[in-house]
Amino acid sequence: MFKTAVLACAIAAACAANVHPREHYEKAFFEHITKYNLNLKDGADFIKRLSVFANNFDLIEKHNADGTQSFKMGLNRFSHLTYDEWIDEVKIGGTRIPNLRRNADAPQHTAPADVSANPTSVNWVTSGAVTPVKNQGNCGSCWSFSTTGALEGAYYIKYKDLQSFSEQQLVSCDTKGGDSGCNGGWMDDAFTFVKNNGGITTEAQYPYTSGTTGSSGSCQTSGYTNNANVAPKSYTDVQTGSVSALESAVAKQPVSIAIQANQLAFQHYSGGVLTGTCGQRLDHGVLLAGYGEENGTKYWLVKNSWGPSWGEDGYIKILRSDDDLCGVLDAPSYPNL
C-alpha cells in the first residue's frame, strides 16, 4: 500500500509542470508503450520515461500550434527519449568528414547549361526505383543504407528489377578506407568497395543484424552470391553547393547525400517541409529520392533509415534552396553501373 502510494505521488510529480493533467499523458504513454512494445525495467523507469514523454508531448503540441511552421512534429518511437538519448539511439555521427573523403579525381556532375531543362519534380519512390524504408537500429551504419539505396536505384533503372541489397555485407566486410561498420563510413568508399568486391549480395542472402546487436559483426565469406551487375564502374560526385546540379543528378537516378541530422526537429518530425535553422556539420548518410513542391515550398525528398514509423512513412522533406539547409548540397554522389 505504502509503495503504491509513493509511486502514485511520484507519477503525479513527474507531470506536475506540464500543460495537461497527468491522466492525459498517462493514457497517451500507455498507448505508446503498447505500440512500440517498450520494456520498462521498473516503476522508477516508468516514471522517468513518462516525464520525458510528457515533456516531448508538450514540445510537439506547442510546435504544431505555431501557424508559421512549415512542418509538423508528432509522437513516434523516440518520444520517450531525451534529446541526448535519441542521439545515442540512432547513432548520429555515422558518416565521415566529407571534405576528407571526397576524391578530387572522381568524375564531377555539374549544373546543366540550361537550368530549365531540369524537371519540375522527380519521385523515384513512385517510379518504383526505391525499396521499402529500412531501419539501421542501434548501429551507426547510415552510410551503408545510403549506399545500398543508391545502388538499388541505379540497378532498377538499368535492369528494371528492384532488388534489396545487403547493408550487413557492407557493415561487416567493408573495413578498408574510411568505412568502419557501426562506427561510421562514407558512401564513396562503399561504392569503391562494391566495385572491388565484384558486386554485392542481397538482403535476403545476407540479412541485417547489426541493428539489434549493436556491433559490426565478422565478415561472412560464404553462403551467398554477389551480383556482379551491381558493381559500379565508378562513382560521380555532384558539384558542391549547386541546387541545379543536384536536381539534374537526381533526375538521372537516386543520389547518396549526407546531412546534419542532430537537430531536435529530426527527432520529432512527422510531415511537411523542414525549414528553419539547420547546419552543415554532416553526420548522417541518407538517400535523395527526388524533389518537388508542397504548398508553394520547394523540397528535397529524402529517404531515411529509421524505419517507416518515423517521419512521413520513413521520409523527410527538406527545404530545397540555395541556403543548403542541413548540408544537402555539400557532398552528393551516385554510382555508375
Q: Note the pLDDT tens digit of each residue in 86-103.
A: 999 999 876 665 554 667
Determine how many CB atoms are found less than 10 A away from the CB of residue 130: 22
| pTM value > 0.85 | yes
Measured CA to CA, the distance from residue 259 to residue 242 in angstroms comes to 15
CB 241 within 8 A of CB 323: no
Amino acid letter, residue 103: N
Longest dimension (CA), the chain: 77
Residue 304 bears catalytic tag:
yes
CA-CA-CA-CA torsion for 15, 23, 56, 212, nearest 10 degrees? Answer: 110
Q: Is the per-residue pLDDT at 52 higher than 60? A: yes
Measured CA to CA, the distance from residue 238 to residue 111 in angstroms comes to 9
Q: Which of 112, 70, 101 is nearest to 178 (CA)?
A: 101
3-state secondary structure at position 168? helix
Active-site option among 15, 56, 304, 326? 304
Write the DSSP assignment of 22-73 as a string of letters.
Answer: HHHHHHHHHHHHHHHT----SHHHHHHHHHHHHHHHHHHHHHHH-TT-SEEE
Q: Note the pLDDT tens digit of each residue in 283-292.
A: 999 999 999 9
Q: Is the per-residue pLDDT at 310 higher than 60? A: yes
Q: What are the beta bridge partners of residue 122?
A: 291
Give start and end residues of each alpha helix (H) in the chain: 2-14, 22-36, 43-65, 83-90, 98-101, 142-159, 167-173, 187-196, 210-213, 243-252, 264-268
Active-site option among 142, 173, 278, 326? 142
Q: Note the pLDDT tens digit of each residue in 130-167.
A: 999 999 999 999 999 999 999 999 999 999 999 999 99
Residue 182 bears catalytic tag:
no
- Sorted by where each begins, the domain ranges of the chain are 2-68, 87-336
Q: Note the pLDDT tens digit of each residue in 250-294.
A: 999 999 999 999 999 999 999 999 998 888 899 999 999 999 999
- Residues 296-315: what's their mean pLDDT? 98
Architecture of the CATH domain 87-336: Alpha-Beta Complex (3.90)
Q: 122: which 3 cell numbers? A: 522527380
Q: Note the pLDDT tens digit of each residue in 110-128.
A: 888 888 889 999 999 999 9
Q: Note the pLDDT tens digit of each residue in 193-226.
A: 999 999 999 999 999 999 999 999 999 999 999 9
3-state secondary structure at position 17? coil
Residue 142 bears catalytic tag:
yes
